[in-house]
A = this chain, B = another copy of it.
């Protein structure tokens, strides 16, 4: 396949850059992390007034490479563009003719930013479980360091889906004077018990893999089986029952007759197995633990009471947490998303409105489930374009 990088809407060949922060961050846990490296990419041009920067926030397993192609990927067959290429480029939702787009990999991740697979300067070995627990708030602090480094006074908009939406919300709450518009998509101010449960089982799968060795696997075999199972579980939650039915039904992958053994044979089985196998090639198991833990801990309403009661899950003060917010909001959810259901977006919208904040809310009808934020490009584009005018 010849990749047509010159096609309309494409940002072309892009490069990941690195920002190294020599100091350290005081984390919400009380521990420190530093020095810090952040992998990031930018598309488009910052205006002299520096008033057109849009920050794109990735979800659990993605990275700084949100759009365009890496030069080395173009030499591969079936090169794939960045993870939100359908949304970023000339004339697209996040229009690079107009905006300066920034996307960076989270701390705790494994895609170029400081995470558990990096060298710990204190020991000379990989961090592994010496890496401190990081929160959604800590990730945003690291992103704020990058923002300062890029000399951007204020985001024209911040936007992301799923865990990216959590950070978008955190940005609007913690840095109200630096966020003009906020577009959280298919996200929540805190996970449901069921959401925590799925993450917990994924972590149990990794940590019970003998190759995990309490996180010390970097010089040996990785806990590939555990990470693969964790990813398979995750994948079920990203799709709706309806989309699984439409995509796979009860069809068999390679046969019309049952195999009468335990080899994966239903299409949905082989699909999940493939997703698990592919994931372990590119993702670090320890990062999976750290990132899902950050998602579990995230509770925007608890934050308002954190000084008095500690950063615990006891608070119910989402409205209070939203008090100082000044950004305008476009909140998007998807009708078939059962992992981050519309009811949670409504709670966010309610808290914003109780604070008199300007918020548009749309539940998009889609059968794609949680993954819809990566797939329903047409409707999301129309809504975001309108909002960013």
- Interface flag for A192 (CB, 8 Å): yes
Contacts of A272 in B (CB 8 A): 197, 200-201, 204
Q: Which residue of chain B is the closest to A343 with respect to CB atoms?
A: B241
A241 touches B296 (CB 8 A): no
Q: Cα distance A239–B198 when bound, in Å?
A: 12
Q: Which residues of B contact A201 (CB under 8 A)?
A: 229, 232-233, 236, 272
Scan residues 283-325 of chain A and give those whose CB is less than 8 A from a CB of chain B: 289, 293, 296-297, 299, 309-314
Q: In the complex, which of the residues B193, B262, B313 contacts A289, with contact meaning CB atoms closer than 8 Å?
A: B262
A245 to B244, CA, bound (A): 25
A345 vs chain B, min Cβ distance (A): 15
Contact between A250 and B313, CB atoms less than 8 A apart: yes
Listed stretches A1-9, A141-149, A166-174, A263-271; interface member:
A263-271
Contact B133 A260 (CB under 8 A): yes
Chain B proximity mask over A198-228: 1 for CB below 8 Å, otherwise 0: 1011011101111000000000000001101
Question: Which of A198, A232, A250 has the most chain B CB atoms inside 10 A of its CB?
Answer: A250
Complex interface: chain B residues within 8 A of A233 (CB): 201, 233
Q: Is A78 an interface residue (CB 8 A)?
A: no
CB distance from A149 to the nearest CB of B (A): 28
1/0 contact string of A310-342 vs chain B (CB within 8 Å)? 111110000000000000000000000010010
* Residue ranges of A at the interface with B (Cβ–Cβ < 8 Å): 29, 31, 129, 132-133, 190-194, 196-198, 200-201, 203-205, 207-210, 225-226, 228-229, 232-233, 236, 239, 241, 244-245, 247-252, 256-258, 260-262, 264, 266, 268-269, 272-273, 276, 289, 293, 296-297, 299, 309-314, 338, 341
Query: A197-B268, A200-B272, A208-B226 known; 8 other A-B pairs, CB under 8 Å?
Result: A133-B261, A192-B241, A193-B268, A200-B232, A203-B262, A208-B229, A257-B311, A338-B338
- Which A-B residue pairs are the 4 nearest by beta carbons? A208-B225, A193-B244, A250-B313, A200-B269
